[in-house]
Amino acid sequence: MRIVVAMSGGVDSSVAAALLNDAGHDVVGLSMQLYDQSKNEHFGSCCTLDDLHDARRTAATLEIPHYIVNYQSSFSKHVVRNFVSEYAAGRTPIPCVHCNGELKFSHLLDRATALNTAAVATGHYAQVDRDAYTGLYRLRRGVDRGKDQSYFLFSLNQAQLARAAFPVGSLNKAQVRSYARDWNLPVADKPDSQELCFIANGDHANFVESHATTPLPKGNILDESGRILGQHDGVHHFTVGQRKGLRIASSSRLYVTSIDAISRSVTVGNRKDLEESTLTASAVNWIGGAPPKTPLQVTAQIRHRHAEAAAVVHAQEGGRAVVRFDNPQLSVTPGQAVVFYDADEVLGGGWID
């Protein structure tokens, strides 16, 4: 088949291209330019000009064609604006999910169609297959559970999964790097990026302030009884569960338990105050298409690095769901995703309200 590979310049997507090339596919490398490289003072350490150069060097090593596509406008619209507005609203966004759904498996799929290619492959640690009985495509965790990225792909639908490929999903990280060395890829030992691609030094608050279209006012820090403990410089500095950076003198550890952007208040409490047994989610995507008609027993994951926990999902009208956990969970955070699993299969997920 002719397959487009989204090449970020990292080792995972580079090996994805190499694996497909070795399997005899007609591989085309595409790299996305996501922001103006001449104005990158607020941007992070990946998806840079150096990364685009690394992708091109890898493509040259593999002897495959490589193109750079300009998605600055789409990235700004679907990812950056959402990131800024969510933090300003007191929520904690996940830009990677929007980038996957709105760019890699939407815009990039359109580009792949124009190039007469059958699929889009990425370097995600995930797997996709097709149920022999239902004919539906299934999204599954990557074999390397420490690197599994299926959580970030919950928004994909059947049409997108039908044309998705995750070549490194059946490998662990050590195998990926070994394969890259065998191919003498220039990125074989390149460190993994630990930051959001558009945030410099992890300073999301500065980024939000520099891109916000309205003022981000200061407010009060309250205890659980509503007593004022101090002031803050804006709700965009906080996330539920946060302990550091509160600038409050206390004899016990305090954590952010809730954020109210309307009243501009940030409430803090002890660790026990972070426990929640129920959450509501919106814009829920069911990968199989239709929501379950009866309550569904799942394991649910409320953050990428959060351990999955037994829960029951009650699908609601309007793409909503109520999730009830068997045991209370810490730091259920508005703006994050709750993703539903059956063993290693992703059933769906939605945005925590």
Helix orientation angle between 204-211 and 81-88, rounded to the nearest 10 degrees: 100
Give the distance from CA 249 to its chain's centroid: 34
- Token readout for 187 is 């990125």
241 by Cβ neighbours in 10 Å (0-12 / 13-18 / 19+) ranks as middle
Secondary structure of residue 322 in the 3-state scheme: strand
Match 């799929």 to its residue by tokens: 109
Task: Annotate 111-179 with DSSP letters as a single string.
Answer: HHHHTT-SEEE---SEEEEE-TTT--EEEEE-S-TTT--GGGGTT--HHHHTTEE-GGGGS-HHHHHHH
User: Is the alpha carbon torsion for 17, 22, 23, 26 positive or negative?
Assistant: positive
Give the distance from CA 144 to its chain's centroid: 17
How far is it, in rounded angstroms, from Cα 156 to Cα 187? 29
Q: Which amino acid is at 5?
A: V
Secondary structure of residue 353 in the 3-state scheme: coil
Q: Which of 46, 47, 96, 197 is catalytic?
A: 197
Secondary structure of residue 301 in the 3-state scheme: strand
- Token readout for 263 is 């009243």
Q: Which of 46, 47, 96, 99 is catalytic?
A: 99
End-to-end CA distance of the chain: 42
Q: Which amino acid is at 305?
A: R
Task: Check if 96 is active-site.
Answer: no
What DSSP designation does 77 have? I
Residues annotated as catalytic (active site), given as ranges? 99, 197
